[in-house]
Amino acid sequence: MGIPAEHLTRFEITDKLPHRLLKLIRDGREIYNWLAYADSFGFTALERIHDKQRISTYIQKYIYKAIDNSDIGLNKRLYYCSKGLNRAVEVHRGYLHKDFEADYNNEYVSIKTVYSFEEARNCFSDKEGVVK
């Protein structure tokens, strides 16, 4: 929900797809690819939401399952890092002072991908290199 229609392309029966998706398309279902997401994270297959109540119940079920099977408690870690990976390093903490053109936004979130420290730092400063 909230993905602009122009970001989606409809899969066709002639596309190379898993058999399960081809059967859904043959049955008249409209299946979409979200190209911007797929370019960054891999294959996607989306359908329009037809029943908000059913989808919210479906999501809720998996949230409850995840919580029920987790060992989350006071002073417990909520994430684990694979061995050998570099740890995150905080390079700046502050507030955005400049407007930026989001790569994606909707009524809940705006996302801007930056590809360098300099590009990120410019979001926090009025002059290049000067962080407020």
CB distance 48 to 28 below 8 Å: no
pLDDT in tens, 47-69: 988 888 999 999 999 888 887 77
Least confident range from 2-6, 38-42, 127-131: namely: 127-131
Query: Is 0.75 topped by the overall pTM?
Result: no
Residue 27 has pLDDT above 90, yes or no: yes
Coarse DSSP helix, strand, coil percentages of the chain, rounded to the nearest 5 percent: 30, 10, 60
Residue 74: predicted pLDDT: 58
pLDDT (average), residues 26-53:
89
Q: Which helix (H) or strand (E) holds 66?
A: helix 52-68
